């Protein structure tokens, strides 16, 4: 993924945080979190962020809009392990008329463990691109101009 944003390892650069406890089932034979487990952590934080800002995902869907993931990229810096409490920090960082990006930083006890970026598109009930809700465009534009 070619991100249009700079990747920050400073939690202060992110507007929201959500804690996720690593479950044993998410670890591999080496005792670390399997790489595929990171995407659900990002999704959980993203959904909780929308709820926290007063725009729960269920209300988007009720209005006929879905948010499809176009791309996801994770850079692994340090492993997560069973029972770690990973804090997923996120910030919307870029937007077009129909798509946007979110940057994430996963930390344990303040130490950066991974950085991720997801790209999304708003789609209608038929899966066709549709305009971003204005509030979502404003979030990403406001954040990118402050970086």
> Per-residue pLDDT tens for 65-102?
999 999 999 999 999 999 999 999 999 999 999 999 99
Cα→Cα distances 79→34, 41, 84, 97, 104, Å: 9, 14, 10, 36, 16
Average pLDDT over residues 103-111: 98
pLDDT in tens, 26-55: 999 999 999 999 999 999 999 999 999 999
Tokens linked to 25: 């089932």
In the set 10, 13, 19, 28, the catalytic residue is 28
* Structure-model confidence comparison of residues 147 and 102, the more confident one: 102
Q: Which CATH number fits domain 11-145: 3.30.565.10, 3.10.520.10, 3.10.129.10, 3.40.50.970?
A: 3.10.129.10
- Are 122 and 131 in contact by the 8 Å Cβ rule? The answer is yes
pLDDT band at 143 (very low <50, low <70, confident <90, very high): low
Closest CA to 3 of 86, 67, 92, 68: 92
Q: Tell me if residue 84 is catalytic.
A: no
Q: pLDDT at position 140, please?
A: 77
């Amino acid at each position: 993924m070619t991100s249009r944003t700079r990747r920050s390892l400073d939690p202060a650069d992110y507007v929201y945080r959500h804690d996720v406890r690593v479950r044993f089932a998410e670890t591999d034979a080496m005792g670390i979190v399997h790489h595929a487990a990171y995407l659900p952590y990002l999704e959980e934080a993203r959904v909780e962020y929308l709820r926290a800002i007063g725009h729960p995902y269920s209300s988007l869907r009720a209005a006929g809009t879905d948010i499809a993931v176009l791309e996801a990229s994770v850079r692994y810096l340090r492993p997560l392990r069973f029972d770690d409490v990973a804090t997923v920090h996120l910030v919307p960082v870029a937007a077009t008329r129909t798509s946007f990006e979110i940057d994430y930083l996963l930390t344990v006890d303040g130490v950066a463990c991974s950085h991720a970026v997801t790209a999304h598109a708003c789609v209608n009930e038929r899966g066709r691109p549709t305009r971003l809700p204005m509030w979502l465009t404003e979030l990403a534009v406001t954040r990118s101009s402050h970086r």
